[in-house]
Homo-oligomer: A and B are copies of this chain.
Amino acid sequence: MGAHEDVTTGPIDTAAVDTAHLEELLLGRWAETRRTAREVLKDPVFHKVENQTKEDQRERTFKQCHALVEAKAVHRAFPEEFGGDNDNGANIAAFEELVTADPSLQIKAGVQWGLFGAAVLHLGSREHQQQWLPGIMDLSVPGAYAMTEFGHGSDVAALGTTATYDPETEEFLIHTPFTAATKRYLGNAALHATAAVVFAQLITRGVNHGVHCFYMQIRDESGSPLPGITINDDGHKGGLNGVDNGQLSFDQVRVPRTHLLNRYGDVAADGTYTSPITSPGRRFFTMLGTLVQGRVSLSGAAVAASKLALIGAVTYGNQRRQFHAASSTEEEVLLDYQLHQRRLIPRLAKTVALSFAQEKLLGKLDEVFSGADDSDENRQELETLAAAVKPVATWHGLDMLQEAREACGGAGFISANRFTSLRADLDVYVTFEGDNNVLLQLVAKRLLADYAAEFKNADVGALASYVANQAGDRIMHRFGLRRALQGVRDTGNERRSANWFKQTAVQHDLLADRVRQMVADVAAQLRPVAKLPSAQQAKVFNDHQYEIINTAKAHAELLLWEAFTEGLESVQDAGTRQVLTWLRDVYALTTIEETLDWYLVNGRISAQRARTLSPYINRLVARLRPHAQDIVDSFGYGPEHVRMEVASGAEAERQHEAIEHYRALRASSAAPVEEKTLLERQRAAAKRP
């Protein structure tokens, strides 16, 4: 412990961020790739231009995509034989950085290489790859990823488009049987795509084998839709207007049998269906498995955008002054206000937690896609992890951008400061590539399945003892005895309470215990109906859906905390570790604070301790305040990435000029006297005898 020490938080004197060290840590395993990507993106050709019509923006974004090809920035995931690097983790790491240049560019690139190209790569045969990947990679064949329909987004299995095999001609008939089956929101479709991968129900010999993917030409050389294909424009959007989203519908359009991307399911010339995966359900999820890359990318992009927002808001918060409080001549710097600290520091903590969680997620993705461990189990773990982190990251991105924009006042609303522009573009990240709430429901189902599996194998004795413990707990809770006992021991001494809250083990137990208990509570409600007809099961499940989603959120928060804590362990520099530990504590404690009622109701935290939590957090954010600039500086972005007037130092210059003006004025004889001061003097003079 240092010589100077705060009673509750630890040594203060030694706390200091080694920004180079922290930058390296946050850049993570793919640091070199990120640096290379960031270097490329310094070029203004990639930067979003504001105040364009969607027509102009689309053209510009398309040109930017070509520039990415020239800069060799988008081929990392493709096999070496086609000129790629076969490096999946690096690919996503670089892709995440695109958001700093222009989110439209990111999404248009994602459609071309991450969805359209990845479908051919992962679902096609070697012949398919040889035939189509070169044109996809060099963008001579722009393509759409035609999955979503008017009537079905998240529920891909229920798509309406059909692909019916005709053995006479050895062709599939791609068809849109009703309006709701029209493909919608397809990037590249409105203007640029000449081809598409189309998802449709594969029907052959009278059997529907479920959703499969077909490669199709959709426009001719002149850019007109091919016969039987109708293309419409989705029109102007809330953001991402550089992406030309459009609609596709098909009137019995014939495609060759060999255009079925047939890695997981094939149709022979005579119409016989075969698949290496027997279960239709497992086959479906395997085919959709590549979608996880999109989720991981969006999550990472949201973290990068959150970092930009913090750089802007923290820098401005350190320069802008408002209201006199402590001094009559000098105004307060925004970040000295407690409320401003409360608005920005916990969000800084969550951003860093997400940065570490994203790094873990990326590692897991690389493990699966590189083949280092692509077992079903690991693939499922990746899916669940992505389904947990993507919602938290993308919602946090919007919240972070909004709070940063509000924290900069009117300046935050000016497009030159980018907050509103980034927020508008990132808005759809919370509902596409898996709607956040649907993903959270997947997470919860996995948690419940794991829980059920645990009990399936448990012997009767263990189960009985578990139930007894639960019952005991419940009685304790019912009569408030456990809390009352805590109350007597726990007199709300702030120091003792803070010492408790700051323990890593305590934070872990609080966060983990909440997830466990919530899962157990939900499972207890669902168990009695497990044997009932599905309609009744569905009703009971629905009656607990809100609780179920909250359980998944609690799980995601635990994951973030674990990633942050693991990240901390690799910090060598003591000063940096101290600051990051406080920041991790802020993440843990504000997360607990948000659901403090649960901890109280469930007897995990006594009312006395709960009372000390908010004041302790207030002290922690004040302690972190002097380090906020160093932390955001460690994000490693240069002015070419940030591009915000609020982060340029212009405000500091303006404040300096104003302060100097008033200082010179006070020193001169020209300074007017305030009417208020004059009145006070007159009053004082009148009182004198």
Contacts and interface: CB of A to CB of B under 8 A. Distances in A.
Given A237-B420, A600-B601, A601-B600, A618 B661 contact: no
A207 B673 contact: yes
A603 interface: yes
Contact of A603 (B280, B338, B413, B607): B607
Contacts of A658: 151, 160, 178-181
A184 B410 contact: yes
Contacts of A203: 672
A433 to B, nearest CB: 11
Contacts of A483: 480, 483-484, 607
A395 B322 CA distance: 22
A371 interface: no
Interface of A: 50-54, 148, 150-155, 158, 160, 177-181, 184-185, 201, 203, 206-210, 234-239, 241, 273, 280-281, 321-327, 331, 336-339, 342, 398, 402, 405-406, 409-410, 412-416, 419-421, 423-424, 427-428, 430-432, 435-437, 477-481, 483-484, 486-488, 491-492, 534-535, 538-539, 541-547, 549, 593, 596-597, 600-601, 603, 606-608, 610-611, 614, 618, 653-655, 657-658, 661, 672-676, 678-679
Contacts of A601: 596, 600, 607, 610-611
A336 to B, nearest CB: 8
A243 to B, nearest CB: 11
Interface of A is mostly: helix
11 contacts: A180-B655, A238-B421, A280-B676, A326-B535, A405-B427, A413-B428, A413-B431, A420-B427, A479-B484, A481-B484, A543-B618
B206 A675 contact: no
Given A326-B534, A326-B539, A601-B610, 5 more contacts: A236-B414, A237-B415, A238-B405, A480-B607, A483-B484
| Interface hub of A238, A342, A538, A672 (most chain B Cβ within 10 A) | A238
- Among A153, A235, A480, A678, the most chain B Cβ lie within 10 Å of the Cβ of A480
B280 A675 contact: yes
Nearest to A541: B325
A407 B534 CA distance: 26
Contacts of A541: 325
B409 A420 contact: no
Contacts of A185: 410
Contacts of A53: 51-53
